[in-house]
Structure 1
């Protein structure tokens, strides 16, 4: 069966927050432009950041769903095609070949937007072909993972970055026994100075979480009373369920197969154009001049700017300093990290859990900050003092 060929003024591949936010911004600007969203899954709307604290919020996988694909299509007057797989992009013909429930076919486009997100960084160790070490990066992932999580389970989390510590705090509050393993010396090592990383570790330890920092897993094995992870120093950890949270890798395969320029992500200019002027990218898959920005605020700003560009008003992406809230109730934390590789030093103030750290560059300028406890109230005032992440 072959689906009829159709045309979209803007064809969006991806139904995550990036894709749907762009569709909403486009519809706000133009009630008539033809918009099609292709989704590899059911196209349901949910907030991915809520997954890492779903237990605390009392949310199940079903209740995390905010709207169905059908509801989004009706609300925005757009076409949404769930369970449609994109095979190829023909940039000369400006057409995409797809396969879905309606069969195979072509969709031509005026503008194509890649909002294909990112995948969890692969993680394997000796024995991981027999002991599952899953990652959670979608609602479907979370549903499968949670279905295998028994009450009172011992949970091993690999990775003490943003997602790892958020899941750890959420699971500990829900009564699970949580162990975190990471080769870095302190939690959140890419976001916080070591002193504040220690404050975070102490706060989570008070919640019953066990840390093995500066350690890696050598192997995992099944046992008669659960699974066992052996660390590089010989330490043995018993666990029932694992979760890997070691970062994301931008989905660039489709772009690369279409001959677009890729690096750590799909490379885009200030207008979010790829190396093809009719193809754009945004969200976790896009690599801007500031790098890949897997956070909500840059995504929202990118969608607003791109919508204007697609509607005929070229609008370069500009972003203020990015302050990220870490969802760890055990220690409220906000961080605005300096750009990767920038030279400088952290200057710390405060005591106990109420700490303020400002990153000072070589010329004495303020380039980032990290706040914990009551100091998080200074978020807005400090943000105004930071340089823009991207200037138009």
Structure 2
């Protein structure tokens, strides 16, 4: 068994990310405390997978991991399917921080927030504690974009970006029936799909004219939308939520178009953006994310970034496959080996199980157009340049069976 396997499978219209537990890691040698440690900030999928890969390369260098939460190891993509599977938060966690510390022979410090980073002295501070590092990795992920709302009901607006957030949301949903979701992008669509199948009544407000508007061509988006509408999801396109006020034990949401929606609670799911807090502390170069080269090196010596916070050679990708590739490369770089990321074609499984979706988005600012075969529920769309090069594809329903064939023909993200 590999150190960490993340497999994506579509079975009976169910797409899920599976994280294997109890990986086989070679016996850990005695830690050499005369060496400066590798410090990883973040214990999400990026941080822990990097740590596992690093221990395959180096079993002696001290490893310190810092996290602002409880450090449990879990697969974040599983959260947006957890309601329909009746999964409690503890059932989503594969290991505790103590389990991971033992496995990795690492010093894992939970509920620890980095307050200062000095790239010249190669030290960082956590509260009053000062930690000297040999190499520092920022794996701080992304944070939810906050909807610009007013009103006295904001305490009843929730967002979910981690297991603690899911725990708060799931607890608050006990006894609730009607939920307003803000956003019909990837996150909002997955939650609408999940919660409508769990017995909730769902309204979705989205400023764009269709679901998954930044990922899919119109015909594919309509296939997803119609499937969710048939299940009971109510959409409100071309407008935004402006106010959320308390209404009894629930809320009253006022939309920009004047409409009012009554619900028990609100889930804000308008997307995420890289968390650049640590980059600001260490004065790193940033754009949309923390800028790195293909070796995950930032603008500061011995500081690296990976995962949702990292913009790797111009690519900012909030998906599992690039994260895994980056972790494998960075584990070698941290062990003083030469290695570079080479992103290939990495299709994304959108977990709208009522209408399965596979999409390989074309590169940012790519020049081309969608060529679509539309069979209603089953849509096969290819993004092709004027020279005939295939740069991406979008598949729904039974057309998802063409994923492997189209992957083989699509141009890689990096040459």
Decide which of 249, 253, 258 is 2:273's aligned counterpart: 249
* Corresponding position: 1:26 with 2:54: yes
* Corresponding position: 1:51 with 2:79: yes
Decide which of 371, 376, 381 is 1:352's aligned counterpart: 376
Shift of 1:349: 1.1
Shift of 1:253: 1.8
The separation in 1 between residues aligned to 2:226 and 2:36, in whole angstroms, is 53
Shift of 1:360: 1.0
Secondary structure of 1:89's partner?
Answer: strand
The separation in 1 between residues aligned to 2:382 and 2:117, in whole angstroms, is 46
Across the aligned residues of Structure 1 and Structure 2, the Cα RMSD in angstroms comes to 1.6
Contact 1:290–1:389 (CA<8 Å) still a contact in 2? no
* Corresponding position: 1:97 with 2:125: yes
Contact 1:6–1:106 (CA<8 Å) still a contact in 2? no
Aligned residues: 383
In structure 1, the residue matched to 2:110 is: 82
Contact 2:216–2:359 (CA<8 Å) still a contact in 1? yes
The separation in 2 between residues aligned to 1:248 and 1:291, in whole angstroms, is 15
Decide which of 295, 298, 303 is 1:279's aligned counterpart: 303
The separation in 1 between residues aligned to 2:228 and 2:146, in whole angstroms, is 26
Q: How does 1:344-383 map to 2 (within 5 A)?
A: 344-383=368-407
Shift of 1:133: 2.0
Normalising by the residue count of structure 2, what TM-score does the alignment of the two structures yield? 0.89
Q: How does 1:171-186 map to 2 (within 5 A)?
A: 171-186=195-210
Secondary structure of 1:97's partner?
Answer: strand
* Corresponding position: 1:71 with 2:95: no
Shift of 1:157: 0.3
The separation in 2 between residues aligned to 1:381 and 1:108, in whole angstroms, is 49
Runs of 4+ residues deviating >3 angstroms? 5-8, 128-131
Contact 1:6–1:107 (CA<8 Å) still a contact in 2? no
In structure 2, the residue matched to 1:110 is: 134
The separation in 1 between residues aligned to 2:176 and 2:118, in whole angstroms, is 51
In structure 2, the residue matched to 1:313 is: 337
* Corresponding position: 1:42 with 2:70: yes
* Corresponding position: 1:60 with 2:88: yes
Secondary structure of 2:82's partner?
Answer: helix
The separation in 2 between residues aligned to 1:130 and 1:25, in whole angstroms, is 42
In structure 1, the residue matched to 2:170 is: 146
Secondary structure of 1:330's partner?
Answer: coil
Secondary structure of 1:142's partner?
Answer: helix
Q: How does 1:208-247 map to 2 (within 5 A)?
A: 208-224=232-248, 226-247=250-271
* Structure 1 runs not aligned, ≥5 long: none
Normalising by the residue count of structure 1, what TM-score does the alignment of the two structures yield? 0.94
Shift in alpha-carbon separation, 1:109–1:155, aligned structure 2, 3 A = same
Secondary structure of 2:311's partner?
Answer: strand
Contact 1:131–1:220 (CA<8 Å) still a contact in 2? no
